[in-house]
A and B are shown apart, each in its own frame.
Chain A
């Protein structure tokens, strides 16, 4: 599903989001949160719902033994990638780590192909040879899907290097988590990106836990927007549960990078509802914390409420959208269940060109 309203984007208020405390009380919409048009809200709702439903289905299919190995679900973080995609223009690239299903759907990659890759079938986007963490699309400018924590930061900086080399005006959105933010190559990349003024936006998805380790137990500086300070890279903290705040911050950051001023850091304060992967002890945080985040800050629920209250859509109208999303997901699951496994001859293809 494409982010239809991207071109209709309104100009967001220029004021930077003030630092938002991790204490949830401060998460009520900041006073300067930009407003969305009805079309933008509808578009964001659809795109986030697709990711939510897709991931729920992935979880179910994993439970049925149809998906193997690692499977990292994006549930809870949908506003981050959807808001950022709304702020991009055609040609901008994105790259991320292993929690990548949401990014692929948000940039318009085929849900059937993603799901069939999860089940390891020949119709998967990588012919079944990549798996959950390794899918790519040149057409959608999606550069993966990387399983080594932090590696995508240097790679994304390299894509930005190529943009700069070609002077093509494109920006590379480089996503990584609060865990990856502690890897050394991240800072090597920050240094070169600022030194050479590369058009890259570093989107740090701070979902508060690196696997099972809370941010405060792993990071000496938990304000990730400041991680570029020693290189002079500007950064801001963003309410990553509010798609409007993400979009507005994304526009500021992308504009900064596109205009030749170099990299920009956005710390997206978000939350992962599910475990790190499917096998998760769930002992490192309380059930109450998860429940509170779901009930008070759910990114999709926020938009849903606006659609009902501000835009006066009826429950039935939303049901139609929900139904269409479910149809896409069910079709993907159906395809991914019955598509054959790769031909054995595929074992030895695609090693060298």
Chain B
């Protein structure tokens, strides 16, 4: 059977082009791969190659023809043993000014949905974090630093596929001593000192995770992880989706995030909002030692990439931690830190320190606030937030990150979408200021949120 050779498209947006010249003439034998003709658009040129074997029976569109619509037949190829004259005679001359011919095999389109399908709905019931630690469990006081170390050690004992890599994690015992003692217990194979090369070792971690190992990649601080953000987002977060579910990266990226003290603009940035924007990542930011331990253990066991944001100032703070054989906290569940009825404060990580002090001050003035510690930024436990706002009618958010497109902005939007009718005042965001972090002590203090701002915000929404 004669085969129509069609005008090809150089790009998905091309509708027509010029048939610059024919390199074969009628009657020529052609083999697959032979260049038949050249076509041009204003931005590119392309060769039309033969795909089938045969004889060029008839050229339908001549050299130098402009505005040839994509998928227009430009020539007819006669198959082996076929009569040339018949093939040529049967060919229909194309109408060059017509609209582009329909694609010869229109893609089989599934029932086109009128609207984008809705994302799976989340449960509407607020989570009860109170059940995480059974009543009567013995508690010990422990720093966040020790809790994180214990979480890693316990998971490394449990699973030989878990290893830690990063700068100064082994012999130096951790730049912030979070990995203290791990080298001694697990050896250099599982506690790996890397060169100062974030982009490279983040990629190595992701590659190892593709094979099923469970790397914990420590960044000395998340400020340095900007060098590695391509591997975190493009390789770790997206591969499961791009592979149709075949290949994921069970990896934890952890380290201190946000401002420490007096370290200047490049070492003082909060990345919670950045990573929380990315589907395919989980983002955890604990405040207390118990949450740090329980959530890090869950993160290491999680089959997905988890960005685990710690805080240098919190490392040395002590909290009660339950003495349990295997204490884990589910990712994606907020904790009501303090019950109250007048206003809801939503915070996470070090933001909680401002929220808690503000609540104490406000209590003295008879204002009873509820504090929600989000703990996980993505997936966000918006049900717990909404349930609280329905009760209090007022909400403020507290974070050290920037205001624009921050986590607080996201919470405010979700509250509008889910609890607008319950609001008695606009949501107020208390955030870091919209400036690079200054070095001078007084300016740095001004750039960070403070307890006074939180108190003021709560008074504003409660009209006091």
A contacts, CB < 8 Å to B? 52-53, 56-57, 59-60, 62-66, 68-69, 93, 95, 119-121, 124-131, 134-138, 143-148, 151, 153-163, 165-166, 184-185, 188-189, 191-192, 195, 275, 278-282, 326, 337-345, 347-353
Contact = CB atoms under 8 A, between A and B. Distances in A.
A128 B110 CA distance: 13
B175 interface: no
A138 to B, nearest CB: 6
Contacts of B111: 344
B20 to A, nearest CB: 11
Contact of B247 (A143, A337, A348): A143
A188 B201 contact: yes
Interface string B93-124: 00000000001110111110100110110000
A147 B203 CA distance: 14
Contact of B303 (A69, A275, A348, A353): A353
A349 B243 contact: no
B195 A191 contact: yes
A134 B32 CA distance: 27
Contact of B11 (A130, A154, A278): A278
B194 to A, nearest CB: 7
Contact of A151 (B120, B203, B240): B203
A347 B44 contact: no
Contacts of B213: 162, 165-166
Nearest to A125: B244
Nearest to B118: A348
Contacts of A119: 107
B282 interface: yes
Given A63-B8, A121-B108, A191-B197, 8 more contacts: A138-B246, A158-B207, A189-B203, A191-B200, A282-B46, A349-B245, A352-B280, A353-B240
Contacts of A337: 105, 107
B10 interface: yes
B202 interface: yes
* Size bin of chain B's contact surface: 35 or more
Contacts of B130: none
B460 interface: no
Contacts of B125: none
20 contacts: A56-B51, A63-B9, A143-B207, A154-B207, A155-B231, A158-B203, A158-B205, A158-B209, A159-B210, A188-B199, A191-B195, A280-B44, A281-B45, A337-B105, A341-B108, A342-B110, A347-B116, A350-B241, A351-B241, A352-B304
Contact of A341 (B107, B240, B279): B107
A128 B119 CA distance: 19
B133 interface: no
Nearest to B204: A158
A55 to B, nearest CB: 10
A322 to B, nearest CB: 9
Interface of B: 6-12, 32-33, 43-46, 48-49, 51, 70-71, 103-105, 107-111, 113, 116-117, 119-120, 163, 189, 194-195, 197, 199-213, 230-231, 234-235, 239-248, 279-280, 282, 303-304
A339 B9 contact: no
Contacts of B234: 147-148, 151
Contact of B244 (A130, A159, A282, A343): A130
A157 B11 CA distance: 34
Contact of B10 (A66, A145, A278): A278
Contacts of B116: 347
A314 B207 CA distance: 47
Nearest to A343: B110
B239 A136 contact: yes
B206 A158 contact: yes
A128 B10 CA distance: 21
Contact of A192 (B6, B33, B49, B195): B195
A157 B51 contact: no
A264 B43 CA distance: 40
A63 B6 contact: yes
Q: Is the interface of B mostly helix, strand, loop or mixed?
A: loop
A144 B243 contact: yes
B247 A341 contact: no
B208 A165 contact: yes
Contacts of B201: 154, 188, 192
A62 B8 contact: yes
A63 to B, nearest CB: 2
Contact of B280 (A125, A147, A351): A351
Given A124-B244, A351-B279, A157 B46 contact: no
Nearest to B103: A65
Contacts of B197: 188, 191-192
B300 to A, nearest CB: 14
A57 B32 CA distance: 10
A341 B110 CA distance: 6
Contacts of B71: 64-65
Contact of B49 (A60, A162, A185): A60
Contacts of B206: 154-155, 158
A56 B206 CA distance: 34
A339 B109 CA distance: 9
B344 to A, nearest CB: 28
B8 A60 contact: yes
B137 to A, nearest CB: 30
A164 B9 CA distance: 47
Contacts of A93: 211
A291 B113 CA distance: 48
A101 B164 CA distance: 35
A274 B104 CA distance: 24
B243 A136 contact: yes
Interface centre among B48, B189, B197 (most CB of A within 10 A): B197
A147 B231 CA distance: 12
Interface centre among B117, B205, B243, B280 (most CB of A within 10 A): B243
Given A155-B207, A158-B204, A339-B108, A56 B33 contact: yes
B45 to A, nearest CB: 5
Given A64-B8, A159-B208, A337-B105, A192 B44 contact: no
A182 B429 CA distance: 44
Contacts of A136: 239, 242-243, 246-247
Contacts of A342: 110
Nearest to A130: B242
A127 B202 CA distance: 28
Nearest to B189: A165
Q: Which A-B residue pairs are the 4 nearest by beta carbons?
A: A158-B207, A154-B203, A63-B8, A188-B200
B341 to A, nearest CB: 35
Contact of A279 (B7, B43, B235, B243): B43
Contacts of A144: 239, 242-243, 247
Contact of A340 (B12, B108, B117, B304): B108
A52 B110 contact: no
Contacts of A155: 203-204, 206-207, 210, 231, 235
Contacts of A348: 117, 119-120
B390 to A, nearest CB: 27
A157 B213 CA distance: 14
